[in-house]
Amino acid sequence: MKKIFFYLWILLIMSVCSYNLTIHYIPNIVYTVFHYKIEKNQNIKDNEIKHFDIPTDQSRNVVMPNPDFLYSTIFYDLSEKDLNINANMPDSTYWSVSFYKPNTINWFVKNDQEFETNNLDLTLTFNDSKSQGVIKSPVKKGFMIIRILVEKKDQNSIDYYKSHQKSITIN
Amino acid sequence: MKNKVIIPILILLSIIIGGYTAISKINSSTQNNEFSIKNGNWTVNPNMDLKNSYQRAYISRIGVFALDEKEALYFLSSKDNDGDPLTSDFDYQIIGTPPKGRYWSYTLYGEDYFLVKNVANIYTINKENLNIDKPIIVSSSKKDINWLPSGTETKFHITLRVYNPYESVYKNLESLDLPIIKKIEK
C-alpha cells in the first residue's frame, strides 16, 4: 500500500514537471512546426528569403495573417556567417523589419519612420558590434519578417509594392 | 511489479497527463482570453512581457509573431454588443471610430483563426478603403460598400488592428472608447 502512494506521489511530481515544461516550450513547438511546414511546403532553407503574396483564406502557414501585408521571411542561421539585408523599400507606406527568437519572442522591430532611409542596408550578426546598421542577434538561429503594408488592393498598387518586396535580398 | 516496468510507465503517464493538462489549459485560456486586457466585448494583446510562460504560450497560440504594443495593437471580439457570439446567421454593423494610430483595419477570422472564406475575396476594411459616409457591414450576403463578408462561418471573430497607435491609446487600453458591433436586420 505504501508503495502505491509512493508511486502516485512520484507520478504527481513528474506530471507537474511535464505540465510546466509543456507550457514553457509551447512557443518553441509552434515555431518548430511552422519552420518545418515552410521548409517543406515552400522548399526554402535557412538564410534564404521567401516572399509571400498577400494572404487569402487559403493561407495556412500562420494563424491570423494580416491581408493588408506583403510578408517576406527568413529563417536565419548566423553560425557560420553574418547576414546582409538589402532592399529598396517604398516611401509611401508602412513597412517594418522584425526579428524573433525560436520561442517566438520579438526581440527587434523597426519601422519605416524609424529608419533614416528607404534603402535598407542592415547586417545581422551574432558577434558583438556597435557599428551603424549592424544588429546583434541574441540567438544564432531565429526568424525575420519584413512587412509591407498594401492598403489599396488595385493591381497597380500590388505590383508596385511587390516590386519593392522583390528588391529585398540576403547575402 | 519490478521498477524496470514501473518507472517507464510512470514517465509515460506523467508526460501524457502533464502535456494534456497544459495544452487544455492554454486552449481554455485562449477561448476565455484569460491573458488579454478586456475592454467591453473587445480583448487586446497585453504588454508583451513575455517572461510569463503562460502569456507566451497564449500569444503563440493566437498570434504567433505578433509585435509589441507600440508597434501594433490587436483588438479581438467574438461577441456582438449584446454579448452574443458573432455568426454568419446575422448581419452586424460596426459603429464608432477605431483608436488613433497610423493605420487601422478590421479583419474577420474563423474559429480556426484563419481568414474567412468568401466568394468576393474581401478580407479587410482599412483606413484607406473605407467609405467614411457609409457604415461598415459584416454580412454573408453581398453589400456594395464597406462590406466585410462573413461567409458561412458558424462562429467568427473580428480583429481590429492599429499600427503605431498613439501613446494615449496603448497606455489606456482598458478605458478606450472602442467601436461597438451591433446586430442588425439581415
pLDDT recorded at residue B53: 81
Give pLDDT tens digits for A129-160.
777 789 999 999 999 999 999 988 889 999 99
Please check the confidence at residue B171 and state whether its pLDDT lies above 80.
yes
* CATH class for the domain made up of A50-170: mainly beta
From CA A92, how far away is CA A161, in angstroms rounded?
Answer: 10
Q: Is B160 on the interface with A (CB under 8 A)?
A: no
List the single residue in A11, A65, A143 with the smallest CB-CB distance to B115: A65
Contact check, Cβ <8 Å, A7/B159: no
Per residue in B45-86, pLDDT (tens digit) is: 766 656 678 878 887 777 778 888 899 999 999 999 999 999
In the three-class reduction of DSSP (H, G, I as helix; E, B as strand; rest coil), residue A92 is classed as coil
Mean pLDDT to the nearest integer, B138-162? 93
Nearest to B125 by CA among B179, B166, B66: B179
Confidence class of residue B35 from pLDDT cuts 50, 70 and 90?
confident
Cβ count near B1 (within 10 Å): 8
**Residue B106 cell numbers, joined:** 478590421
Distance CA A149, CA A167 (A): 15
For the domain bounded by B36-184, which CATH number is listed?
2.60.120.600
The residue among B82, B70, B64 whose CA lies nearest residue B26 is B64
Rounded to a whole number of angstroms, the distance from the CA of B138 to the nearest CA of chain A is: 17
Summarised one tens digit per residue, pLDDT across range B102-138 is: 999 999 999 888 999 998 999 999 998 898 888 999 9
- Tell me what the mean pLDDT of segment B30-53 comes to: 76
In angstroms, the CA B106 to CA B148 distance is 8
Q: Write the DSSP assignment of B108-130 as a string of letters.
A: EEETTSSBPP-TT---EEETTT-
Residue of B36, B65, B161 to mutate for A, most A C-beta atoms under 10 A: B65
User: Alpha-carbon distance A169 to A160, whole Å?
Assistant: 17
Which pLDDT tens digit goes with each residue over A89-99?
A: 999 899 999 99
- A-chain CB neighbours of B53 within 8 Å are 20, 23-24
Q: Which of A18, A72, A101, A151 should we substitute to test contact with B (largest number of B Cβ atoms within 10 Å)?
A: A18
> How high is the pLDDT of residue A168?
96
* pLDDT surpasses 90 at B15: yes
Residues of A in contact with B17 (CB under 8 A): 11, 15, 18-19
Cβ-defined contact of B54 to A23 (cutoff 8 Å): yes
**Can you tell me the distance from the alpha carbon of A47 to that of A65, in angstroms, rounded to the nearest whole number?**
22
Of B13, B103, B114, the CB nearest to A11: B13
User: Is the dihedral angle over the CA atoms B155, B123, B57, B172 positive or is it negative?
Assistant: negative
Q: What is the mean pLDDT of chain B?
A: 89
B116 CB neighbours in chain A (<8 A) are 57
User: Between A and B, how many CB-CB pairs are < 8 A?
Assistant: 153
pLDDT surpasses 80 at B31: no
Q: What percent of chain B has pLDDT over 90?
A: 59
Instruction: Residue A22: name the closest of B137, B83, B57, B76 by CA.
Output: B57
B78 touches chain A (CB under 8 A): no
Domain coordinates in residue numbering, chain B: 1-32, 36-184
Q: What is the mean pLDDT of residues B23-31?
A: 81
A94 touches chain B (CB under 8 A): yes
A127 has pLDDT over 90: no
Is the pLDDT at A128 greater than 80? The verdict is: yes
Give the residue, B185 or A36, on which the prediction is more confident: A36
Task: Using the predicted structure, report yes or no on whether residue B89 has a pLDDT greater than 80.
Answer: yes
What mean pLDDT comes out for the span B83-105?
95
- Mean pLDDT for chain A overall: 91
Give the whole-number percent of chain A exceeding pLDDT 70.
100
B71 to chain A, any CB pair closer than 8 A? The answer is yes
Q: How many CA atoms lie within 13 A of B29 on its CB side?
A: 21
Choose from A11, A15, A93 for mutation: most chain B CBs within 10 A: A15
The full DSSP string for B48-63 is --TTSHHHHHHHHHHH
Interval B31-48 mean pLDDT: 78
Question: Tens digit of pLDDT for each residue in A54-64?
Answer: 999 998 888 88
> Is the CB of A11 less than 8 angstroms away from the CB of B127?
no
Top pLDDT among B53 and B153 is at: B153
